């Protein structure tokens, strides 16, 4: 019977049924005892003679075979999950028994204690280096076991390690974090050395942070070493040198163009009629000189003040009071006249915008500003939110309309 082939079959059998999570050493040991108890139950209350008679009792013999097989299979799974070399353990136990129970009057010829095959475990820091199976065999020719420690987001880790078969173990780290993988790998170095003190283990990484741990292992008498692989560019990453975070390219909002505010020209002076000319002509030089400062003052005043025009739509929104007409080219968010105009128009609209983008478009249309003034539209919408006329959630949905 090929025990190793049988263990491989049991692994595949459990994997296909998703039983691996239940096959802990504790559970397998308990299951082994249960199966042994069921085997023992077949002989309960039988006399020694009756138990020997089972050789000729075909139904009983079949049940004994079934229960014995259950015991053997659970035993093979238990030693497989605890990495016990069953053949070595059986041979070693027989030798010890022979020494402890010597046959009377017979000289016992003791054999030399079998030497356990040398094991070389290679532990790969996959976040730092990513060698293929051939690379590992070139670096460590006597490799027997490979352990690959990788991050939770790294995929297809074992694709190029097929030649190691069942001697390959993938160890995903529990969670991401600074030096998280390093701590996992260091833990397994202790785990392997405690189970097989004679084993040799090699850390495959360019990260020099493992050195103190490996030097300490050597001081304790373990065969520990480290090898690098490939370009050493990943050393900075693992040695704690933080890369500067990539700068996010944020599209700059177009700064509002400063539009020159046209100064209204003073009202054109009407050409005097012939009668006025006659009267003007009769005015004395002193009178014309006295009127000059007043006329100049009036001209300056007319150049700076915008004539007021009643806008019916805005007047209705402000309680019927006449207000200046909206000059869309001179939009200022804090202009109460423009603010009242937009608010009134939104309230009257039958198809109120339900999305932030549509709201921006509606406000922009009401204001009549160009693309370069998008920032003004944004400030205007923000004022509508601040005043409680509408609410916009994180998804851009307008949940409360004016």
pLDDT band at 320 (very low <50, low <70, confident <90, very high): very low
Cα Rg of the chain, angstroms: 46
Q: Which residues, 6 or more positions from 339, have their beta carbon under 8 angstroms from its beta carbon?
A: 333, 380, 383
- Helices of type H across 332-373: 336-348, 356-367
Q: CA-to-CA distance for 321 and 37, rounded, in angstroms?
A: 100
Instruction: Answer whether residue 237 shows pLDDT above 50.
Output: no
User: Sign (positive/negative) of CA torsion 307, 308, 312, 313?
Assistant: positive
DSSP state of 116: P
Average pLDDT (355-378) is 75
pLDDT digits (tens, 9 = 90+) for 27-36: 999 999 999 9
Task: Please tell me the predicted confidence (pLDDT) of residue 73.
Answer: 92
Mean pLDDT score of the chain: 75
Greatest Cα pair distance, the chain, in angstroms, is 166
> Measuring CA to CA, how many Å separate 400 from each of 343, 353, 397?
14, 10, 9
Question: Is the CB of residue 232 less than 8 Å from the CB of residue 239?
Answer: no
Give domain 120-238's CATH architecture. Answer: 3-Layer(aba) Sandwich (3.40)
Give domain 3-100's CATH architecture. Answer: Orthogonal Bundle (1.10)
Task: Please tell me the predicted confidence (pLDDT) of residue 112.
Answer: 61
pLDDT digits (tens, 9 = 90+) for 43-71: 989 899 989 988 888 898 999 999 999 99
pLDDT band at 272 (very low <50, low <70, confident <90, very high): low
Buried b (16+ CB within 10 A) or exposed e, 370-402: eeebeebbeebbeebeeeeebebeeeeebeeeb
Q: CA-to-CA distance for 390 and 400, rounded, in angstroms?
A: 5
**E strand map for 50-167:** 120-125, 145-150
Task: Tell me which residue of 20, 154, 115, 132 sits closest to 77, measured CA to CA.
Answer: 20
Instruction: Answer whether residue 5 shows pLDDT above 50.
Output: yes
Task: Please tell me the predicted confidence (pLDDT) of residue 69.
Answer: 92
Question: Is the CB of residue 377 less than 8 Å from the CB of residue 369?
Answer: yes
Task: Please tell me the predicted confidence (pLDDT) of residue 114.
Answer: 59
Q: CA-to-CA distance for 91 and 71, rounded, in angstroms?
A: 20
Angle, alpha carbons 156-161-162 (nearest 5°): 100
The share of the chain scoring above pLDDT 90, in percent, equals: 21
Q: CA-to-CA distance for 137 and 227, rounded, in angstroms?
A: 12
pTM to 2 decimals? 0.34
Query: Which strands, in side-by-side order, build the sheet including 120-125?
Result: 168-172, 145-150, 120-125, 200-204, 223-227
Task: Please tell me the predicted confidence (pLDDT) of residue 251.
Answer: 53
Task: Please tell me the predicted confidence (pLDDT) of residue 324.
Answer: 43
Instruction: Answer whether residue 164 shows pLDDT above 80.
Output: yes
Instruction: Answer whether residue 6 shows pLDDT above 80.
Output: yes
């Amino acid at each position: 019977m090929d025990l190793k082939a049988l263990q491989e079959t049991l692994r595949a059998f459990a994997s296909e049924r998703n039983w691996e999570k239940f096959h802990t050493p504790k559970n397998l040991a308990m299951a082994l005892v249960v199966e042994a108890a069921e085997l023992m139950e077949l002989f309960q209350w039988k006399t020694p003679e009756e138990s020997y008679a089972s050789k000729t009792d075909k139904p009983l013999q079949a049940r004994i075979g079934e229960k014995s097989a259950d015991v053997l299979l659970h035993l093979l799974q238990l030693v497989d999950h605890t990495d016990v070399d069953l053949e070595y353990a059986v041979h070693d136990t027989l030798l010890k028994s022979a020494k402890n129970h010597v046959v009377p009057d017979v000289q016992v010829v003791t054999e030399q204690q079998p030497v356990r095959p040398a094991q070389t475990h290679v532990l790969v820091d996959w976040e730092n280096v990513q060698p293929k199976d051939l690379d590992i065999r070139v670096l460590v020719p006597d490799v027997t076991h490979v352990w690959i420690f990788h991050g939770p987001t790294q995929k297809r880790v074992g694709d190029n390690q097929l030649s190691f078969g069942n001697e390959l173990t993938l160890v995903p780290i529990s969670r991401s974090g600074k030096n998280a993988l390093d701590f996992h790998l260091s833990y397994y170095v202790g785990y392997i050395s405690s189970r097989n003190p004679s084993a040799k283990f090699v850390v495959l990484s360019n990260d020099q942070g493992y050195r103190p741990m490996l030097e300490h292992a050597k001081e304790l008498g373990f065969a520990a070493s480290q090898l690098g692989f490939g370009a050493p560019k990943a050393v900075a990453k693992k040695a704690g040198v933080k890369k500067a975070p990539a700068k996010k390219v944020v599209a700059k909002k177009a700064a509002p163009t400063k539009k020159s505010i046209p100064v209204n020209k003073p009202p054109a002076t009407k050409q005097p009629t012939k009668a006025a000319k006659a009267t003007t002509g009769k005015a004395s030089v002193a009178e014309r000189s006295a009127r000059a400062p007043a006329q100049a003052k009036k001209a300056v005043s007319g150049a700076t003040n915008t004539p007021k025009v009643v806008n019916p739509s805005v007047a209705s929104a402000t309680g019927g009071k006449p207000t200046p007409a909206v000059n869309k080219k001179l939009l200022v968010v804090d202009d109460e006249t423009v603010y009242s105009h937009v608010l009134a128009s939104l309230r009257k609209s039958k198809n109120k915008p339900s999305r932030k983008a549509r709201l921006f478009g509606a406000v922009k249309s009401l204001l009549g500003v160009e693309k370069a003034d998008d920032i003004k539209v944004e400030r205007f919408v923000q004022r509508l939110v601040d005043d409680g006329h509408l609410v916009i959630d994180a998804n851009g949905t307008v949940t409360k309309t004016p």
